[in-house]
Amino acid sequence: MKGVVLAGGTGSRLYPLTRITNKHLLPIHDRPMISFAIEALVRGGVTEVMLVTGGTHAGEFLRLLGNGHEHGVDRLLYAYQERPGGIAEALGLAERFVDGDRVVVMLADNVVERSIRPFVANFQRQPAGARILLTRIEEREHLRHLGVPEFDGDNKLLRIIEKPEDPASSFGVTGIYFYPPDVFKVIPTLKPSGRGELEISDLNNYFVELGCMHYDVLDGFWGDAGESIDAYYAVNDFVRSHNVNRD
């Protein structure tokens, strides 16, 4: 299985911290933010990784990570997204790297308390389709800023609603996704959203509609350090006080 870390975006929600750097290079406790996503994949058993980034600070990732060996990565490649075209478009840049394998995708501003290894194993065992990781969120206002799954009476996924005014459940979709090799045939069929980007929720809903989207629910802390200034500092505080990516 291959791993793809998506570290692009303008970081506008963390401005002015991102005025002079990519948000994923900002510090979380004692390390750059990107380190935690790399660590999550490696501890999950995924050691062939592509990092997709963009903007004027892309070269800083190469200076920081090099060939990835110091971070436990066997093979680390890089791809450059020329313009902000959405998460799904960024994933599409990794097609040749993935090369017909399965892939786990992680947004580089996601930080989790527990190892993703069990979910990697669950995905490897399923015969086909995709998989997403959910997290329980009680604050409805927070859910209005996320993708929220809707379930039927048997807890089967019906659809994922992006930034719903009235959330259909108390779960949010994290930025950790698992896809089969044919995901790269689906991406070109997606239509740009109103902001001109290929949205990851549209990609996920493709598999939901086929009836082959599975899910797991994370235990412990999950944080999106790029969601806002407050969220960035909340993640920082948690990491400073607790271990993350732990078994």
In a domain, 141, yes or no: yes
pLDDT at 220: 96
pLDDT at 196: 87
* Cis peptide bond N-terminal to 181, omega within 30: no
Q: How far does the chain reach from its first CA to its final CA, in angstroms? A: 20
pTM of the predicted model as reported, rounded to 2 decimal places: 0.95
Structural domain containing residue 111: 2-241
195 Cβ neighbours under 8 A, 6+ residues apart: none
In a domain, 247, yes or no: no
In a domain, 50, yes or no: yes
Whole-angstrom Cα Rg for the chain: 17
* pLDDT means over runs of 10, the chain (247 residues): 93 91 96 98 98 93 97 98 91 98 98 98 97 96 95 95 95 98 97 91 97 97 96 97 94
pLDDT at 83: 85
pLDDT at 122: 98
Which of 217, 216, 218, 205 lies closest to 158 in space, CA to CA? 205
Total count of domains within the chain = 1
pLDDT at 9: 81
In a domain, 14, yes or no: yes
The enclosing domain of 68 has a CATH number of 3.90.550.10
What is the amino acid identity at position 165?
E
Q: Tokens at residue 246, please?
A: 């732990």
In a domain, 148, yes or no: yes
Strand partners, 111: 223
**Helix extents (H) in the chain:** 34-43, 59-65, 87-92, 95-98, 117-125, 140-143, 183-186, 200-210, 229-241
